[in-house]
């Protein structure tokens, strides 16, 4: 039997994928073979020797010590694209919220009551001018990051009459072909800063991107630019943002990741991390994460891992080896790949598992079949 530990509430359609004759699934199982997680922070988590993989029911893995897992031979999966439509729809809402001062108007109207001098409708007609805005049709939307979410946003924004430009140094030819009719793809972020009326961020938060949207970037943007951040809050420098809003350089900032500073900041619409909070998205992520865990645990196949390469092989028996890149193994190679210094190789079933375990740089060896 395999044990699957759930650290957050996981949609039942996902946990139901685990065959009860093979798996025990729950939030209190011991010695887990796999873990399913959404937002629970795992950086201080003690990993047992039986743990093979972690399935993140979502795209971001900031809550998981990915490098530590790689060192211990624990494959970390995420579910790219499973929540893309949900986030796209909220980004569209963000476009309108940044333009029409809807949230401020609703908050103001909710405090109105009839008085002897004026009724609520009379007060509304007198006061509504303070919440004027602009339309998005004909405006230019700049998209930084054209992954699954960014591409969906591009298509939807174009359908709403916006001019769309985007950039992504990792955009594949096939992904570019999906959006070539609606997006002008530019080589650098600077081209977006100079021309976009709205900028939406869809990049991961890492050492290269943390705080990259800062004073230098704001200075390159058009006056009155509206910035949408449905990726990660840490991408934007809060102190520089506050100054940019105060100066009028930024006319609105919509974020799905409020913190103690931005939640009270003038000019900010703070949404409480609702990007993937739809029934459909939670179902999609849970089912995809479950499928990834099952395929790896039972078949040794890796797809959508953030710390090991995608590698799969169809064989009745195989020897699966997680190792450092560049290690020479013993046996017939069925499939192999490398990623960020780590590698995964599937050897034919007649390979000597014990001999491969003894090789320097080998992290973990499993025999399947």
Token couple for 201? 């961020």
CA 177 from chain center: how many Å?
Answer: 22
pLDDT in tens, 179-207: 999 999 999 999 999 999 999 999 988 89
pTM: 0.83
User: Which pLDDT does position 192 carry in this prediction?
Assistant: 98
- CA 152/CA 91 separation, integer angstroms: 10
- CA 261/CA 240 separation, integer angstroms: 12
1-83+279-306 against 85-111+121-270: fold identical: yes
- CA 83/CA 14 separation, integer angstroms: 14
For the purposes of burial, counting CB atoms within 10 Å of the CB of 31, is it exposed (0-12), middle (13-18) or buried (19 or more)?
exposed
Phi, psi of 154, deg, nearest 5: -60, -50
pLDDT in tens, 242-264: 999 999 999 999 999 999 999 99
User: Which pLDDT does position 59 carry in this prediction?
Assistant: 85
Instruction: Fill in the DSSP letter of residue 46.
Output: P
- Mutual angle of helices 84-100 and 148-159, in 10-degree steps: 50
Question: Burial letters for 48-63: b for 16+ Cβ neighbours within 10 Å, e otherwise?
Answer: eeebbbbbbbbbbbeb
- Tell me which residue of 3, 66, 4, 41 sits closest to 306, measured CA to CA: 66
User: Which pLDDT does position 95 carry in this prediction?
Assistant: 98
Number of H helices, E strands in the chain: 12, 16
Class of domain 1-83+279-306: alpha beta
CATH for the stretch 85-111+121-270: 3.40.50.720
Q: Is 138 helix (H, G, I), strand (E, B) or coil?
A: coil
Domain ranges of the chain: 1-83+279-306, 85-111+121-270, 308-369
Name the stretches of the chain with pLDDT < 50. Answer: none
- CA 107/CA 77 separation, integer angstroms: 41
């Amino acid at each position: 039997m395999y044990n699957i530990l759930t650290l957050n509430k996981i949609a039942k359609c996902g946990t139901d994928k685990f065959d009860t004759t093979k798996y025990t699934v729950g939030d209190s199982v011991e010695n887990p073979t796999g873990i399913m997680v959404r937002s629970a922070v795992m950086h201080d988590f003690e990993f047992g020797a039986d743990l093979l993989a972690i399935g993140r029911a979502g795209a971001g893995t900031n809550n998981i010590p990915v490098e530590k897992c790689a060192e211990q031979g624990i494959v970390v999966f995420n579910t790219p694209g499973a929540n893309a439509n949900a986030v796209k729809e909220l980004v569209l809402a963000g476009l309108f919220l940044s333009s029409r001062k809807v949230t401020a108007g609703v908050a103001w109207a909710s405090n109105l009551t009839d008085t002897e001098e004026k009724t609520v409708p009379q007060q509304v007609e007198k006061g509504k001018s303070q919440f004027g805005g602009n339309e998005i049709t004909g405006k230019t939307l700049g998209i930084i990051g054209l992954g699954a979410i960014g591409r969906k946003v591009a298509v939807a924004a174009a359908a709403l009459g916006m001019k769309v430009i985007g950039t992504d140094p990792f955009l594949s030819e096939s992904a570019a072909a999906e959006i070539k009719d609606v997006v002008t793809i530019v080589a650098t972020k600077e081209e977006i800063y100079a021309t976009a009326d709205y900028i939406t961020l869809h990049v991961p938060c890492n050492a290269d991107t943390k705080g990259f949207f800062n004073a230098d970037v704001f200075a390159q943007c058009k006056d009155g630019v509206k910035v949408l951040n449905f990726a990660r809050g840490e991408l934007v420098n809060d102190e520089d943002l506050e100054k940019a809003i105060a100066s009028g350089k930024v006319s609105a900032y919509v974020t799905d990741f409020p913190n103690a500073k931005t939640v009270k900041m003038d000019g900010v619409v703070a949404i409480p991390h609702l990007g993937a909070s739809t029934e459909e998205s939670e179902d999609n992520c849970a089912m995809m994460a479950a499928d990834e865990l099952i395929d790896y645990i039972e078949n040794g196949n890796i797809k959508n891992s953030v710390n090991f390469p995608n590698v799969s092989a169809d064989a009745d028996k195989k020897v699966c080896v997680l190792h450092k890149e560049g290690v020479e193994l013993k046996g017939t190679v069925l499939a192999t790949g490398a990623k960020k210094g780590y590698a995964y190789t599937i050897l034919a079933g007649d390979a000597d598992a014990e001999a491969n375990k003894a090789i320097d740089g080998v992290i973990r060896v499993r025999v399947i079949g």
